[in-house]
Amino acid sequence: MNNDVLALKYRPKFFKEVTGQDLIIETLINSIKLNKLHNAYLFSGTRGMGKTTIARLFAKSLLCESGISEQPCGTCSSCNEIDNTNHLDLIEIDAASRTKVEDTRNLMDNVQYAPSSSRFKIYLIDEVHMLSTKSFNALLKTIEEPPAHVKFLLATTEPEKLPDTILSRCLHFKLISASETTIISHLENILNQENIKYDVSALETIARNANGSIRDSLSITEQCISFCNGNIIEDKINSLLGNIGYDTINKIITAIADKDAESLVNFIESIDDNIKLDRILDQITNVFFKLTLLNINKNLLDKEHLNYDFFTSIYQEFTKEDLQLFYQIAISSKKDFRYAADKKDYLIMILLRMIIFSENDNNSIENDKITTEKTNNLKSTNDNNDDVVNIKNNWYETVNELSLNGLALHLANHSVFDVNNNNYTLKINQQKKDIYPQSCIDDLVKIIQKHYSITSDIAIEYDNNLDTPTIVEKKLSESETSNRYDKVKDNPDINKIQKMFDANIDKDSIKKIID
Ligand SMILES: [Zn+2]
């Protein structure tokens, strides 16, 4: 099925028809009006943003037979030939398919010849970052001192791959993603012209799936028109795209915030079987990203985002650390999605992990006696090898040295790396069993092997009674609170105040404020 019919039919023919790139269009129009033309222009941005479309419109302005103008006539043979992509003096090159230096040299050799019929000879090089180093050098020589009749229009998805020598000679335009609101009004406009019925929430879904690309939004719309039989409604689109709406996503996020495992399980169980569950994970990952932005600074999130009200209502329910962790859990669990026999169960496990991880670990130390010993002061009698003793006793400090983050750091903090007669074991807190994906455990094992230069296997065990870094930290902080309380309760000044107000000391409220 050809999904480009709408994109081709509604491809902008003039600057004023370009959607979502107002600043760039305004700058180009001004440079034409003021007759300040550069030798080389670079348009960068992700696919489907309209880089080559804008470059062609610019070429049209420069080549129109009625004269250089920000409003080319649109009727002369030059304008028509550009619309039909067969203008002799607009030479389009796809660098992705032409990277050999000889090809570029041939092109550059022809640069010196005058245009066949126009005032300029324009080279439009798409995906220019794909050129080889030698080809870049050949191009650079020409861009440095081009004949007066030559202009270069370069387009790329990866400007960072271009040599500085090229970048510094180009006027660089960075295309931006179109906002969902812009895409929706663009689609409304086209569907009205096409006399096709739609509901706005359906267009919202299309806009969300287009990831800022007008072209992608048109190609999805094209599919939807045939799938929905001419009447675009959200339900059908969701089943076409395998999505669930924000309604359900918001319920899931709320359940995670409320640590409401039961509702969470019920929501996921009730999801239609034809929904792609890994897409839900993507949607949830994206929400955590948006909430993280809000948590850093409210201005970082686009206020036009369709789910903005929900985001602002809930972001303060999460700590920055939890959001980082949940994002990491979602991303790292995605890798194992295809291995899960029951995808629904797997999705539930991933989301439950988030709830469990954000809970306090108080239970695990409640029954333990408070001790001030750090694990690195504990000596083991079983070990007879200095290195081995060293490994075992330094786990608490080693975790800090491993530069871990996210889920791997969480796992390390709930584990103890143990050595006994050259047998290596990673002991994980029993209460955390089943919540770390296997890939996360494998990653930590590899990191430990590398750190200690261990070539043999590391066994995995689960144990209820471990002095993991998290538990050691808790014990230390508990004992510090006790020590402070002992000092405070015997302090004569404090005793005076106590008597004066007939007051008790709240042990947990004692905080160290100066070192
Ligand atoms: Zn014209």
pLDDT at 87 over 90: yes
Structural domains for the chain: 21-174 (3.40.50.300), 180-241 (1.10.8.60), 246-357 (1.20.272.10), 366-471 (3.30.300.150), 477-509 (no CATH)
The more confidently predicted of residues 313 and 105 is: 313
Instruction: Provide the pLDDT for residue 495.
Output: 86
Beta carbons of 130 and 96 less than 8 angstroms apart: yes
Angstrom distance (rounded) from CA 483 to CA 501:
24
Instruction: Provide the pLDDT for residue 98.
Output: 64
Instruction: Provide the pLDDT for residue 503.
Output: 84
Angstrom distance (rounded) from CA 409 to CA 406:
6
Ligand 1 center from residue 109 Cα (angstroms): 29
Bridge partners of residue 407, in order along the sequence: none
Instruction: Provide the pLDDT for residue 369.
Output: 33
Ligand 1 center from residue 62 Cα (angstroms): 9
* Interstrand relation of 423-429 and 415-420 (parallel, antiparallel or unpaired): antiparallel
Ligand 1 center from residue 84 Cα (angstroms): 13
Q: Which ipTM value was assigned to this complex?
A: 0.99
Looking at the chain, the whole-number percentage of residues with pLDDT higher than 70 is 90
| 232 SS3 class | strand
Instruction: Provide the pLDDT for residue 485.
Output: 83
Ligand 1 center from residue 251 Cα (angstroms): 55
Q: Torsion angle, CA of 231/236/241/242, rounded to 10 degrees?
A: 180
DSSP one-letter code for 370: P
Angstrom distance (rounded) from CA 507 to CA 169:
67
Q: Tell me the pLDDT tens digit for each residue of 422-469.
A: 788 999 988 877 778 888 898 899 988 888 888 889 999 998 888 888
Average pLDDT in the 66-70 region? Answer: 95
The number of beta carbons lying within 10 Å of the beta carbon of residue 364 is: 20
pLDDT band (50, 70, 90) for residue 286: confident
Instruction: Provide the pLDDT for residue 101.
Output: 56
CA 309 to chain centre: 21
Looking at the chain, the whole-number percentage of residues with pLDDT higher than 90 is 39
* Interstrand relation of 150-156 and 40-44 (parallel, antiparallel or unpaired): parallel
pLDDT band (50, 70, 90) for residue 201: confident
Instruction: Provide the pLDDT for residue 173.
Output: 96
Ligand 1 center from residue 501 Cα (angstroms): 91
Angstrom distance (rounded) from CA 367 to CA 51:
65
Average pLDDT in the 262-267 region? Answer: 91
Angstrom distance (rounded) from CA 140 to CA 120:
19
pLDDT at 514 over 80: no
Q: Tell me the pLDDT tens digit for each residue of 179-192.
A: 989 999 999 999 99
Ligand 1 center from residue 10 Cα (angstroms): 19
Angstrom distance (rounded) from CA 494 to CA 116:
95
